[in-house]
């Protein structure tokens, strides 16, 4: 353990420190569903409507939920009018289906047609767990996962706004270009729904690194799932066109199974993982199945690029040479750009190009930085950041697509066209870029 569980009180972390594990929780929901499948209580290809009759989308199956291929709407703005009308109401899972029906929310795409990360999928899946088992989601986890795995320091809180006895304080940088940490209690929430909701199934579990290791071991020794169900969870999802659901994550091609990300490294073998992030927290549980190696990272400043960090750790475990990164380039770059100007930021970029081993940077971090600058009305700085991202990641279609979007916001249409065209050249399936180009041309 390294660092502080409570920075304000200078309280060091210890083995009993409890962390929110964020989206690692999705693997628990997937495990619960697969347990019910193993007991012949459900079939993965069953329609969600079979168990939740009010669910308005007849073609969405349980497998679509667990594989993030359902096409369901996101919840971020779904409850805006309800929160305005009922200012004291706390939104929870039971409100999702009524909202879909009330607002006649359309699917984003036909089920199975695309992959889209969506917390709602796992909220709905948790409702199925409750309906079939007759238990609350929290009670089900305690009875069928926590207890069998020996996870004595894990809990699914009834109210996630209340802290557990050994729960760490969370800290964050107020923005992606700040160099000073703040307790999240003093930082405004990004989405209104965050302070007014108590969703579960997609996140919410509180645990420790030791307990997550017990969970990891229980998955592979047959305590929680049989081999067939585990294999299903770790098999890449095929879309309706027969192609695998894939995404680029830190320049790696990653697929998604049932509640787990998957990728294969020629040197290290097959690796499954799920990461998580909330304000002030990043987490990951990764396992190299081929070599039986597990990496767990729980970090309470929300600033760790946990996917790339876990890969570095696996490389070290497998005795691969890895230079030590000393600085977070994206954050340092953003701070330099905002506070010192473009010239100094360009100087920093040149330092990175000459000595990249001195910095820690990912494509995702640079793109997130660019979008945050744009959201904060620093559009010129956002454009410069996306330009820098394309220099560091010249083969990233996403970087060029984001660059084009920022240029278009600044009414630089000709330059935006060039960036969108480059993005589509790198990724002919970039539908967003094609739509943007069509809009510019019309």
Provide the pLDDT confidence category of residue 144 given band limits of 50, 70 and 90: very high
Structural domain spans, the chain: 4-165+172-315, 327-441
Q: Is pLDDT at 61 greater than 90 in this prediction? A: yes
Q: What is the mean pLDDT of residues 157-171?
A: 89
Give the per-residue pLDDT at 322.
60
Categorize the per-residue pLDDT at 158 as very low, low, confident or very high, splitting at 50, 70 and 90: confident
Which of 3-12, 142-151, 260-269 is predicted with the least confidence, judged by mean pLDDT?
260-269
pLDDT at 77: 86
**Which CATH number does the domain 4-165+172-315 belong to among 3.40.190.10, 3.30.70.20, 3.40.710.10, 3.30.70.260?**
3.40.710.10
Given a cut of 90, whether residue 26 has pLDDT beyond it is yes
Name the 3-class secondary structure at 42: coil
Please give, one letter per residue, the 3-state secondary structure of the chain: CCCEEECCCCEECCCCCEEECHHHHHHHHHHHHHHHHHCCCCCCCCEHHHCCCCCCCCCCEHHHHHCCCCCCCCCCCCCHHHHHHCCCCCECHHHHHHHHHHCCCCCCCCCCCCCCCCHHHHHHHHHHHHHHHCCCHHHHHHHHHHHHHCCCCCECCCCCCCCCCCECCCEECCCCCCCCCEEHHHCCCCCHHHHCECCCCCCCCEECHHHHHHHHHHHHCCCCCCHHHHHHHCCCCECCCCCECEEEECCEEEEECCCCEEEEECCCEEEEEEEEEECCEEEEEEEECCCCEEEEEEECCCCCCHHHHHHHHHHHHCCCCCCCCCEEHHHHHHHHHHHHCHHHHHHHHHHHHHCHHHEECCHHHHHHHHHHHHHCCCHHHHHHHHHHHHHHCCCCHHHHHHHHHHHHHCCCHHHHHHHHHHHHHHCCCCHHHHHHHHHHHC
| Residue 315's pLDDT band (cuts 50, 70, 90) | confident
∠ CA 237-194-406, nearest 5°, is 70
pLDDT band at 211 (very low <50, low <70, confident <90, very high): very high
pLDDT of the residue at 324: 64
What digits encode the pLDDT tens for the residues 104-117?
A: 999 999 999 999 99
Give the pLDDT mean for 304-331. 83
Give pLDDT tens digits for 171-192: 999 898 999 999 999 988 777 8
pLDDT at 425: 97
Percent of the chain topping pLDDT 70: 98
pLDDT digits (tens, 9 = 90+) for 342-353: 999 999 999 999
- CATH architecture of the domain 327-441 equals Alpha Horseshoe (1.25)
pLDDT at 325: 58
Average of per-residue pLDDT across 413-420: 97
């Amino acid at each position: 353990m390294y660092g502080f569980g409570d920075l304000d009180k200078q309280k060091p972390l210890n083995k009993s420190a409890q962390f929110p594990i964020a989206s690692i929780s999705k693997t628990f929901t997937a495990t619960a569903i697969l347990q019910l499948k193993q007991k012949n209580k459900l079939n993965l290809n069953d329609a969600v409507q079979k168990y939740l009759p009010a669910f308005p989308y007849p073609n969405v199956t349980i497998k679509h939920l667990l594989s993030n291929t359902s096409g369901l709407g996101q919840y971020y703005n779904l409850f805006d009018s309800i929160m305005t009308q009922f200012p004291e109401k706390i939104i929870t899972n039971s409100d999702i289906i009524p909202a879909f029906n009330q607002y006649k929310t359309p699917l984003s795409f036909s089920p199975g047609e695309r992959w889209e990360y969506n917390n709602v999928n796992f909220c709905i899946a948790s409702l199925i767990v409750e309906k079939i088992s007759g238990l609350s989601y929290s009670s089900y986890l305690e009875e069928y996962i926590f207890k069998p795995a020996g996870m004595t320091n894990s809990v699914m809180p009834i109210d996630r706004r209340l802290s557990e006895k050994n729960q760490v304080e969370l800290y964050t940088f107020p923005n992606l270009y700040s160099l000073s940490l703040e307790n999240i209690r003093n930082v405004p929430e990004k989405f209104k729904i965050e302070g007014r909701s108590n969703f579960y199934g997609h996140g919410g579990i509180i645990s420790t690194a030791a307990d997550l290791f017990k969970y990891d071991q229980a998955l592979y020794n047959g305590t929680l799932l049989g081999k067939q169900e585990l294999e299903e969870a770790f098999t890449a999802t095929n879309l309706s066109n027969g192609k695998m659901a894939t995404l680029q994550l830190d320049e790696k091609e990653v697929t998604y199974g049932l509640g787990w990300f998957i990728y294969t490294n020629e040197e290290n073998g097959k690796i499954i993982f799920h990461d998580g992030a909330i304000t002030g927290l990043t987490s990951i549980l990764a396992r190299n199945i081929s070599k039986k190696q597990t990496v767990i990272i729980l970090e309470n400043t929300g600033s760790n690029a946990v996917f790339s960090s876990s890969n570095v750790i696996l490389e070290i475990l497998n005795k691969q040479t890895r230079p030590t990164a000393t600085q977070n380039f994206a954050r340092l770059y953003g701070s330099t750009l905002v506070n010192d100007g473009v010239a100094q930021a360009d100087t920093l970029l040149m330092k990175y190009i000459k000595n990249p081993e001195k910095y820690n940077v990912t494509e995702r971090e640079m793109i997130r930085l660019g979008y945050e600058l744009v959201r904060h009305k620093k559009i010129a700085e956002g454009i410069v950041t996306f330009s820098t991202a394309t220099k560091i990641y010249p083969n990233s279609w996403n970087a060029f697509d984001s660059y084009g979007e920022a240029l278009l916001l600044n009414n630089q249409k000709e330059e935006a066209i060039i960036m969108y065209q480059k993005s589509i050249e790198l990724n002919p399936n970039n539908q967003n870029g094609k739509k943007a180009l069509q809009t510019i041309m019309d």
